[in-house]
Chains A and B, each alone.
Chain A
Amino acid sequence: MIWVTQILNGVLLGGYYALLACGLSFMFGVMRIINLAHGDLAILSACLVFLIADTTGISPFVALIVALPVMAAIGWALQRWMLERSLRSGVLVPLLTTFGLAIVIENGLFEYFGADTRSLAPYIGDFAYDSWAITSNIYIGSLAALIFALAVVLLGGLKLFLSYTSLGRSIRATAEDPDTAALVGINTRAIYGIAAAIAVATAGLAGVFLAMRAVFTPYSGPEQLIFAFEAVVIGGIGSLSGTLIGGIVLGVAQTLGAQINPQGFLITGHVVFLAVLAGRLVIAGVRARGGLGALLARRP
């Protein structure tokens, strides 16, 4: 029964990864930028909400109303003053600048908040550890369930937004071909700004939920970036529904790994990620040689 519980926990953890990965995947999909500061931006938002909750006593859920617009504004500013210029200088420069930003954010946060491990759990009362009994010995945490539901709603909502709204269509057109999109009257600069704002705001949302369900330090960002990236790549880069599946695969792999060995949580996740990459390359190689049938038929 422990295995069923662990798989269930893994799926719910996958919801958090999907929430975290959503912005990374979206920004890559629209701007072709892999934002190496993604994890640190999530932690920045967690620190911001922590600061609000700690000084004013406001519930972190309410503090989100302040934090999310701030994060969106940061995303927009980032696009305007850093990413736009980076993009013009070729494919490598956005990696270098966002890496530099990551170093600045995490060390800046350290300077302000120190090395202490923090959590928002004490600020949300019973909700941090409430759980529902599914059967007499299977429980699921209500916070984990909320995060999972939020991830599904966010990814689904983003997909609907991209498919059915005028702004969504403009974003897709810009993602497809910014020059042509500009020719037909789309303000691609504004579109990129909006896309970056959405991406960074969702990163911020994920960061706050990380802080509610676990602990964080100023240096937690890189690990979150890696988890988000693994979820995105496992699910297929650029696909929003794939991101949910990728998150779940990663979450289940990690919780099962932890069940086998206490050190297994991170290792299993990384190994599954590399195995998925390797598997994909093998499949692509087989396809390039005319598929499995052709390979088998070639044998005498």
Chain B
Amino acid sequence: MSTRRAFVVERWTRLSAGSTIAVAVVLAILALAPLLFDANVVDSLTTLFIYLILSVMWNALAGYAGLVSVGQQAFFGLGAYFAIQLSYYGVGVYPALLLGAVITAVLSLPLSLLMLRLRGGEFAIGMWVVAELARLIVVLDPVINGETGVSMIALNAINPESRRDYNYWMALVAMVVLLAAVFALLRGRLGASVQAIRDDEDAAESVGVRVLAGKRTIFVLAAFGCALAGSLWLATSISFQPRQYFGIQWTAYMIFMVLVGGLGTFEGAILGGVIFFLIEYLFGQTGVWYLVGLGAAGIVFALFLPRGIWGTIEDRFSIRLLPVGYSLRMLRSDPGPGSGAKTPQD
């Protein structure tokens, strides 16, 4: 037996380096989209970016930290609500949209003290209760006009063409920054530790993983991301109805995107967001049947393809386009069992 190590730990492959460059090129084109494409395309892309934010945030929670939340609509709604409040008190439109999400993230910190002590299903429904409570309290605010809701009037003051472009750029920047933040966190120390927590919380703790700190970082980041998605949604739709913003359908969308794309894979959440966007574009008009289909697809994927479309591709072909994990590359061909990784002949 040779003492020389027969493998190297890889964090990038040639393919993933190439795909990362490709992502950068696509982003550069997207940045110019309002100059290149017509209004409908720009609006659709803005919606897509919001879905991608939601998908990646829910995936970070459930796929990496093992926290299945059915109450992320709490943050979605609160982000929009605080933006309206700030705008009501005279803060400029776009600063208010961002600050609304910041305030929500700050509030999620004390909330995490309570919620993160709950496990599994208790956390899931506990978050749902939080979302319901948030909605009930927001409805009491006279600014909101009860269930009727209110419009962010300041948005109407901006002319619609500029508003469309500003919304687009804000959504693009928000998506890129949030996705990059999740990517960096998952590639870093936190990524390994939260996945250890997801797989076995007690074991992770026993080997010195700081369980609560890891979960809290993801929880607060996801709260911020969902809140920003909510305030961006407000920027595109202008009106705010509590039942819509705090509605459980957001969780249904997030679960669908992540399950179909690939729970626990970074690329999968993005793929799922794109698929959801296309399905909504094609079938969104069919109303309720469309929701039945989403729920049924979620069940089928959870049962029969638990790693989703991307996870299955990744497992079969070991392709990693935007790698957050570690992979081993054998330096010499090893005939023994377990040499599943690629073994280039050298």
A8 within 8 A of B: no
Task: Give CA–CA (A266, B137) in the complex, Å.
Answer: 10
Are A233 and B122 touching (Cβ within 8 A)? yes
A137 within 8 A of B: no
- Give the Cβ gap from B215 to chain A, nearest Cβ, in Å: 14
Total number of A residues with any Cβ neighbor in B under 8 Å: 43
Query: When each residue 83-109 of chain A gets 1 if its CB lies under 8 Å from chain B and 0 otherwise, what string results?
Result: 001100101111111011111100110
Determine if B35 is an interface residue (Cβ-Cβ < 8 Å).
no
B117 at the interface (CB under 8 A from A): yes
Within 8 A of B (CB), among A269-293: 270-271, 273-274, 277-278, 281
| A267 engages B125 (CB within 8 Å) | no
From B62, B289, B302, A100 is in contact (CB under 8 Å) with B302
List, in ascending order, chain B residues with CB within 8 A of A222's CB.
128, 248
Assess the A108–B292 pair: CB atoms within 8 A. Answer: yes
Residue A252 is within 8 A (CB to CB) of chain B in the complex:
no
Q: Which residues does chain A contribute within 8 Å of B62, judged by CB atoms?
A: 92
Query: Among residues 119 to 134 in chain B, which have CB atoms less than 8 Å away from a CB atom of chain A?
Result: 120-122, 124-126, 128-130, 132-133
Residues of A within 8 A of B121 (CB): 28, 33-34, 36, 94-95
Interface centre among B114, B125, B252 (most CB of A within 10 A): B125
CA distance A263 to B144 in the complex (A): 15
A111 within 8 A of B: yes
Q: Which residues of A contact B117 (CB under 8 A)?
A: 281
Q: Which of A51-59, A117-125, A191-199, A224-232 contacts B (4 or more CB under 8 A)?
A: A224-232
| Contact (Cβ within 8 A) B295 A267 | no
Do A34 and B298 contact each other (CB < 8 Å), given the known contacts A92-B68, A266-B132, A266-B136? no
Q: A193 CA to B256 CA in the complex, in Å?
A: 28
Query: Any chain A CB within 8 A of the CB of B296?
Result: yes
A229 to B122 Cα, complex, angstroms: 9
Chain B residues, Cβ within 8 Å of A223: 132
B267 to chain A, nearest CB (A): 20
Whether a CB of chain A sits under 8 angstroms from the CB of B66 is yes
Contact A274 B259 (CB under 8 A): no
Across the interface, do B306 and A100 meet the contact criterion of CB distance under 8 Å?
no
Q: Decide if A107 touches B288 in the complex (CB within 8 Å).
A: yes
| CB-based nearest B residue for A85 | B303
Q: Is the CB of A237 within 8 A of B122?
A: yes
Contact A92 B120 (CB under 8 A): yes
The answer to whether A129 has its CB under 8 Å from any CB of chain B is no
Residue of A nearest to B294 (CB): A103
Would B292 and A274 count as touching, CB distance under 8 A? no
| Complex interface: chain B residues within 8 A of A278 (CB) | 114
Q: Are B120 and A104 in contact (CB under 8 A)?
A: no
In chain A, positions 211-228 with a C-beta closer than 8 Å to chain B are 222-223, 225-226
- B299 interface hit (Cβ, 8 Å): yes
Q: How far is the CA of A37 from the CA of B18 in the complex (A)?
A: 44
Least Cβ distance of B133 to chain A in Å?
4
A226 and B128 contact, CB distance less than 8 A? yes
Q: Looking at the complex, which one of B120, B132, B295, B302 makes contact with A102 (CB distance below 8 Å)?
A: B295
Contact code string B132-143 (vs A, CB < 8 Å = 1, else 0):
110011011000
- Give CA–CA (A16, B139) in the complex, Å: 27
Query: CB distance A93 to B302 under 8 Å?
Result: yes
Asked if B70 is at the interface (CB within 8 A of a chain A CB), the reply is yes
Any A CB within 8 A of the CB of B309: no
A100 in contact with B296 (CB, 8 Å): yes
Contact A107 B295 (CB under 8 A): yes
Question: Which residue of the partner chain A has the closest CB to B128?
Answer: A226
- Known contacts A91-B120, A92-B66, A101-B295; is-contact A273 B129 (Cβ 8 Å): yes
Task: Using CB atoms, name the residue of chain B closest to A114.
Answer: B288
- Asked whether A34 lies within 8 Å of B292 as measured between CB atoms, the reply is no
Within 8 Å of chain B (Cβ to Cβ): is A82?
Answer: yes
Choice from A34, A104, A110, A270 contacting B122 with Cβ under 8 Å: A34
Residue of B nearest to A263 (CB): B140
Cross-interface CB contact of A229 among B125, B259, B294, B306, cutoff 8 Å: B125
The distance from the CB of B144 to the nearest CB of chain A, in whole angstroms, is 13
Query: Top 9 A-B pairs ranked by shortest CB distance?
Result: A34-B121, A103-B295, A100-B298, A100-B299, A104-B295, A270-B133, A107-B291, A96-B302, A100-B295
- CB pairs A–B below 8 angstroms (25 shown): A28-B121, A33-B121, A34-B121, A34-B122, A34-B124, A36-B124, A86-B303, A92-B62, A93-B302, A95-B68, A95-B121, A99-B251, A100-B298, A100-B299, A103-B294, A103-B295, A107-B291, A107-B292, A111-B289, A226-B128, A237-B122, A263-B140, A274-B114, A277-B118, A281-B117
Give 12 new A-B contacts, CB below 8 A, not counting A86-B303, A111-B292, A225-B125.
Answer: A34-B121, A92-B68, A92-B120, A93-B303, A93-B306, A96-B298, A97-B302, A99-B252, A101-B295, A107-B295, A229-B125, A281-B117
